Amino acid sequence: MYEKREVTARVEKQDSLTEDIRELILETPLAEDAMPGQFVNLYCGDGARLLPRPISVCDVFSGRMKLVYRVVGAGTAELAALKAGDTVRMVGNLGNGYDPRTAFGKDVLVVGGGLGVPPMYYLSRLLHMLGLRGGAESPATLTMVLGYRDEASTFMKLAFTGFGRVVFASDDGSIGMKGTVVDAIRAENISCDVIYACGPLPMLRAVASYAREKSTDEKNIKCYVSLEERMACGIGACLGCVTKTTQPDEHSRVNNARICVEGPVFDAEMIAW
């Protein structure tokens, strides 16, 4: 593992994927060692906005990092105004990320909902590559279930094609089946040994509960979820972004784990849902 570091990244380009979703390509050495599920902190140029914006890594390729984020306020609006050649200060790579070893030889189900879709791209691509290589590190199967609000808010829809089977779900049925990602998993009767999920908290709760429900004495379905919370430092110093855990956390010694260090990816069994 490389160390966390602060760098100034150069913007290669930025595109709109939907009305409020942006794709930012940065030229940064952080691309060399980012793992799927990790995130970076981007700092605003406007000093009145003090806190970094934590954004999950969507992909990395040849010294570039792709970030897909939603414009939700003045800070992300500032990021959205970045153009090719501009620079942005950032700290990375943060958090633990998904551990691909948990996928070796397994039937893998990747679940992304809304803004939880981007980090699942890098994870799915990595798992697909492991599959192509074959051998003991290859996942047995790879299925991806992607949930969106509706057709208009869909982005990265075709990006996962070729990695494995892709199933869509949307609130209004305008893309894929009408319903939640868990409705789609049930309807398609997708079998799995391990689930990786990122998305809104109610979705993660439902996915975790599905994994528990489908687990039997013979087959325990492992479920790993990526959580988010309002953060200040992003490196584990301020204790702003904690999640309730079922057991006392090794670092905090209370039932709170830091999302930015112990997470953002957690074994769903560790979370006090």
Please report, as ranges, the residues that interact with other proteins according to CB under 8 A.
3-6, 43, 47-52, 75, 89, 91, 229-233, 235-243, 248, 251-256, 261
* DSSP H or E stretch at residue 224: strand 222-226
For residues 65 and 234, the answer to whether their CB atoms sit within 8 Å is: no
When the beta carbons of 215 and 255 are compared against other proteins, the nearer one is 255
Of the two residues 4 and 205, which places its CB atom closer to other proteins in the complex?
4
Please say whether the dihedral angle defined by the alpha carbons of residues 229, 142, 189 and 169, taken in this order, is positive or negative.
positive
Nearer to other proteins, 48 or 136 (CB): 48
Least Cβ distance, residue 144 to other proteins (angstroms)? 29
Q: Provide the b/e sequence for 4-43 (b: ≥16 CB within 10 Å).
A: eeebebebbebeebeebbbbbbbebebbeebbbbbbbbbb
Q: What is the rounded CA–CA span in Å between residue 36 and residue 118? A: 10
Minimum distance between the CB of residue 247 and other proteins, rounded to whole angstroms?
13
State the minimum distance, in angstroms, from the CB of residue 243 to other proteins.
7
CB of 241 to other proteins, least distance (A): 7
CB of 149 to other proteins, least distance (A): 17
Strand partners, 13: 25
Closest CB to other proteins among 43 and 148? 43
Q: Tell the burial category of 148 from Cβ atoms under 10 Å away from its Cβ (0-12, 13-18, 19+).
A: buried
Residue 182 or 259 having the CB closest to other proteins: 259
CB 167 → other proteins: shortest distance, Å?
A: 32
Angstrom distance (rounded) from CA 129 to CA 133: 6
Nearer of residues 5 and 13 to other proteins, judged by Cβ = 5
Q: Could you tell me if 204 and 210 are in contact, meaning their C-beta atoms sit under 8 angstroms apart? A: no
Cβ-based nearer residue to other proteins, 25 or 241? 241
Residue 59: phi and psi, rounded to 5, are -170, 160
Smallest distance from other proteins to CB 118, Å? 22
Are the C-beta atoms of residues 113 and 203 closer than 8 Å to each other?
yes
